[in-house]
Copies of this chain bind each other. A is one copy, B any other.
Amino acid sequence: MNIGVLGTGVVGQTLASALVQRGHEVKLGARSATNEKARDWAAKLGRSASHGTFADAAAFGEMVFNCTSGVSSLEALELAGARNLDGKPLVDVANPLDFSRGMPPTLSVCNTDSLAEQIQTAFPGARVVKTLNTATAQVMVNPGMVSGEHDIFIGGNDPGAKAQVTEILQSFGWRNIIDLGDITSARGMEMILPLWLRLYGTFNSPVLNFHVAR
């Protein structure tokens, strides 16, 4: 599948590389068409990898991943362009973490709303799916790094989009995929971040994940 990945940070590059490795054609999108990180990434990954602007990547993808910083995701998606997102699964893996007031970060939206809901509202033609935001980048694409049984959450209004994203998750090795329902479930997924960050500090490693025992 042709996939656009927006954001050249660790999350974007890790996801983009894993998608290339699973046989997809991937365009990594940045604010600028000459972004060095995106250019270096594409050069390293070979002929299934390319790069361009946010709009280039979104236009290229049959599915688009939002891996931009959560506090600037809406702006990045505006640059990507609503028309380039229309009808496509838009996988939101971002967390609206605001580091501007120091550590620990707070959420720039929570409780009565979520980043994923804001994205769905701003881009009603996109089929927004929230997932993967509760795991660190390496674990997103290699859940086997974490011992034992553990889970990934998924939420969104469009069952077809969730099914397509579920196939991607399975290709990364996810076995326990918990469908929490519509896009409002993103509130819970994003609000777990303060606990996740605290656990990172407690165990001095981001290689951890949640399992829902029953």
Contact = CB atoms under 8 A, between A and B. Distances in A.
B202 A180 contact: yes
A188 interface: yes
A107 interface: yes
Contacts of A201: 181
A199 B213 contact: no
Interface of A: 106-107, 110-112, 146-150, 153, 178-181, 185, 187-189, 191-192, 194-199, 201-203, 205, 207-214
Contacts of A185: 198
A112 B148 CA distance: 33
Copy number in the complex reads 2
Given A111-B107, A148-B149, A191-B192, A198 B213 contact: no
B198 A188 contact: yes
Q: Which 6 A-B pairs have the closest CB atoms?
A: A188-B195, A150-B213, A188-B194, A211-B211, A191-B191, A188-B198
A106 to B, nearest CB: 5
Nearest to A101: B112
A199 B150 CA distance: 15
A148 B211 CA distance: 10
A212 B210 contact: yes
A189 B110 CA distance: 15
